[in-house]
Structure 1
Amino acid sequence: MSVIPEFQKRKLQSPRSNFSLYFSRMTDWQFVRDEVKSKDGSIIDLGIAGNRLLSNAKMCLASIHRRQEHLLQLAKANGQFVLEIRAQLKTPFVSGLGSGHPTETGMILDRNTGVPYIPASSIKGILRLAHAVNLLNDSTLDSKWIEKGRVNKKGDFKRDPNGDQVNINDREPSLRRYFGDTDTKAKDCLRGQLVFLDAYPEQVPALKPDIMNPHYHKYYGASTPQEKERGPVDCDDPIPVKFLTISEGTVFIFRILFSPLPPLANELVEKSCFRQTDLKDLECIFGDFSEQDQEAVRNMFETAFSLLGFGSKTAIGYGRFTMVEEGNDTEIGASSTLVTTTENVWESANLSWAPNTGSLSVEYEGKKAQSKDKNLVPEKYHTSLFKRKKVVKVKVTVQATGNLFEILKID
């Protein structure tokens, strides 16, 4: 069942609908033991619809790239350092799993175009962590910025000389130079001088369904001490959870520029009370952007691409990139993973009807296509399929988008 008005449903199902709006509203629901839950095949249906709708977003995506390119060209003409990096996914990418969605497996989509993207704030956070990792591996880092301690149960770092974990102080000069101060109430608070733009796929990507299979849901979801004491046991039933990913091979374009602090900011800092070592730190924060800075930025990306990953589920290998090309004049439109659709005919396929979900399913040589349109079924099959609920042999025309299939015609 649908929970939105019929007129909205018709608009969202139109060929030029926005997938961001479709994704958040077009989940099918069902009653399960007096509870309303999303139907099992909702994510698969959303993936099929997404690949269909995203194919119409090519012009909008190209416009975003032109706008970002123009911004970099203006910055470069103004004497600022700019960097554009094309990076290809080595593993599937998923982001926003924890964001609000009826299926409880969300996805971050551009609101205006419906295209999946990586927000600039996320890029900044990952690169800040990558730079901290690089600093710890740098033998020239002043030891005064390294703190020993432990992480408590809340995830907060507490200083402890005997701790087995390390932290880099947020006041470390290069962290302040590139990313700004975390303490925004400090009197000498500074903004970061690296400006990050949202990262978009080079071309419209293909969506692919994936699955996670938590086994110990009763243990992790325990609401009482007694349930927690039971512990994780192998007799618990796994609960398959489907979610959408962006296929490996997709190329994303990362763009950043260096926006120096105004000269007045340096002049307002009273230097007479500083020690010589502190003055060197100030020079690091306010100095001109150099080749050493350019190398540091590229090293951040390399660490983030190979070691940390972007998006969700990075601990198990998702969101890893490999750098394809660097430069300021990268031409939009190079090869990438595209949404390509083809029509196939399946002879003698097995057609079945699931009344509890209202779905038609066709299986052929290990492949499966689905639809919720009963009008696709010729009248000669109605009795066997809908009344007797038997599997019937049919000839089917399907639309293939990646590894997703949609029923177009049944003969």
Structure 2
Amino acid sequence: MHKGRLAAVPRYLGQDFDHTAPGHRFYLYAKLWQPDWTLCEEEGNGTTRKSARVAELAAISRLTLNEASRPNPNIALVNALVERQQWLAESILRQPGRRILQLPARAVAPVATGLGMEHPLENGFAFLTPYGLPYLPGSSIKGVVRAAARELASGAFPDLDPAGWDEQAIDALFGPPVADGEAEDAKRRQGALRFWDAFPLPPMNGSLLMAEIMTPHQAHYYMQNEPPHDSGSPVPIPFLAIAPGARFEFVVECDLRRLREHRETLVDGERWRQLLQAAFEHAFKWLGFGAKTAVGYGAMETDTLELQQRERAARKAQERAAREERERAEQEARAARLAAIEDPLLRELEQLLEERPNKDEPDYVFLIPQLESGRFAGNEARVAEEIKKRMEAAGRWNPEGKGSKPAQRKAHQYTLRVLKHLKE
């Protein structure tokens, strides 16, 4: 390159990719690598690497998937994953012998997942490949809920209601434990439940991820077999976590045919659903999901507001379906009634009455203008006779003009209009 000349390169090169999925930034694009894929060199007491760790985690944690100020493809991506699960759940519900439990929840504490994965920051994080979005694996969810069911069934906690859990129910729903040498038979011993991955959605206002710090003390005692003392130098360790307020959708699939084979009583009245909800509630409150649950991470609660909204939506859907069914039955009854009328003219009259916009309007009030418009040319007398019958049945036929009340005078006017066509 000649001196004084600048190379024309794309502006985005070398800049931060704000819309890059957090998982890709955490692993592939982390600002910790040298061109040869080795970590950046430490200076002094590891200040360079330590500062790079904190800075990179802070940058990743600031990624807000629900940022409305500018479009973010990660928003569409995480919503697409959730919508795909919803579509799959609806398709499964249409299949015989299969049911779905959907339970919305919110994190009330940070959720650390995948800390044991290898990473230059010493603590990894569970991102779904290839999307680069955080998630809770279904296998992890199953393990936590099974542990909650075992605690409820054990009776070791007198203050806890077992909610109907026992070892037989656990084996039927989760599958009995597989001993050594029985791996080939594991499929036959599979339980009736299948736990889906859970994808966290960001809080209404805030980021989905956050940077946390753990500071282990007495490392010289635990790792170097030295006597404990207070003159050590604790090293803060940063790690990623899902922020409190994140929304989760737990989806569990139940194979009713398999469940009937092992515990048919759990199918009656959808008893399995009640047991599973109780186990989730216990896991939310006492166990937690992910890592570091012993110090309060991973605690959740059922999103009661979302449940209430879904219940209202379900009721409205049921009411709408019932209303549509009634309307369909009424239409079929009307069609059958019209088909039973042999006289084409009378059938046409009934068809007009069925299609009138105001069903509360008396028949004769609607038919008289139709008669006067010339619609029934050549059949005026027959139509007028039919209108007369309907007015007589309603007590509104008044050729003599009896009575002085407005309704009686109006009935007399209608009668005169019909008589005009009868005389013709």
Does the pair score TM above 0.5?
yes
The structure where helix makes up a greater share of residues is 2
Which residue number in structure 1 is paired with residue 87 of structure 2?
Answer: 70
The residue identity in structure 2 corresponding to 1:197 is W
Q: Is the counterpart of residue 190 in structure 1 residue 192 in structure 2?
A: no
Match of 1:388 in 2: none
Aligned to 1:294: 273
Say if 2:197 is the partner of 1:201: no
Q: CA deviation at 1:324?
A: 0.9
| 1:305, distance to aligned residue in structure 2 (A) | 0.3
Among candidates 92, 107, 111, match of residue 125 of structure 2: 107
- In angstroms, what is the RMSD of aligned CA positions? 3.5
Q: 1:307 aligns with which of 266, 286, 291?
A: 286
Q: Supply the AA of the counterpart residue of 1:65.
A: V
- TM-score, normalised by the number of residues in structure 2: 0.57
SS in 1 for 2:211: strand
Q: Spell out, residue by residue over 1:117-138, the C-alpha distance to the aligned partner (whole angstroms, 9 max, x if none).
A: 1111100010110110010138
**Counterparts of 1:254 and 1:328, CA distance in 2:** 16
Per-residue deviation, residues 283-311 of structure 1 (Å, max 9, x unmatched) = x2796364321111001100110000011
Q: Which runs of 5+ in 2 are unaligned?
A: 1-9, 33-39, 159-164, 312-424
Q: Aligned partners of 2:233, 2:51: CA distance in 1, in Å? A: 16
Aligned to 1:248: 244
CA shift, 1:115, in A, is 2.0
2:3 match:
none
Deviation sequence 1:45-95 (CA, Å, 0-9, x none): 233245337452110111111111111111222243211111111111111
Q: Which residue in the other structure is 1:40 paired with? A: 51
Q: Which amino acid aligns with 1:51?
A: R
Whole-Å separation in 1 of the counterparts to 2:267 and 2:109: 37
CA distance in 2, matches of 1:211, 1:295: 38
Contact between 1:87 and 1:321, CA under 8 Å: does it hold in 2?
Answer: yes
Q: Tell me, what secondary structure is at the counterpart of 1:39?
A: helix
CA contact (8 A) 2:209 2:243 kept: yes
2:20 equivalent in structure 1: 17
**Equivalent residues of 2:265, 2:271 under 8 A apart:** no
Give the counterpart of 1:135 among 135, 138, 153. Answer: 153
Residues 46/35 of structure 1: CA separation in 2 closer, same or farther (3 Å cut) = closer
Structure 1, unpaired ranges of 5+: 1-6, 141-167, 223-227, 267-281, 332-411
Checking the alignment, whether the CA contact within 8 Å between 2:61 and 2:240 is kept in structure 1 is no
Counterpart of 2:151, as a letter, is: V
**Aligned residue for 2:63?**
52
How far off is 1:173 after superposition?
2.1
Q: C-alpha distance in 1, partners of 2:56/2:157?
A: 52
Is 1:324 aligned with 2:303? yes
Shift of 1:240: 1.1
**Residue of structure 2 equivalent to 1:91:** 109
**Larger gyration radius, structure 1 or structure 2:** 2
Pick the aligned partner of 2:220 from 201, 212, 218: 218
Is this contact kept in 2: 1:30–1:36, CA < 8 A? no
Residue 237 in structure 1 maps to residue 248 in structure 2: no
Percentage identity across paired residues of the two chains: 26
The question of whether the paired residues in 2 share the 8 Å contact of 1:93 and 1:248 is answered with yes
Aligned partner of 1:173 in structure 2 is 168
Tell me the SS of whatever aligns to 1:209.
Answer: strand
Q: 1:251 to 1:34 in 2, by over 3 A?
A: closer
Tell me which residue corresponds to 1:365.
none
C-alpha contact (below 8 Å) 1:196/1:255 kept by paired residues: yes
Q: Which residue identity does 1:96 align to in structure 2? A: G
Q: TM-score, normalised by structure 1?
A: 0.58
Q: Number of residue pairs matched?
A: 273
Is the CA contact (8 Å cut-off) linking 2:63 and 2:208 kept in structure 1?
no
Q: Give the Cα–Cα distance (whole angstroms) in 1 for the partners of residues 106 and 308 of structure 2.
A: 17
Find the counterpart in structure 1 of residue 338 from structure 2: none
**Greater share of strand residues, 1 or 2?**
1
Paired amino acid for 1:248: P
* Whole-Å separation in 2 of the counterparts to 1:40 and 1:236: 21
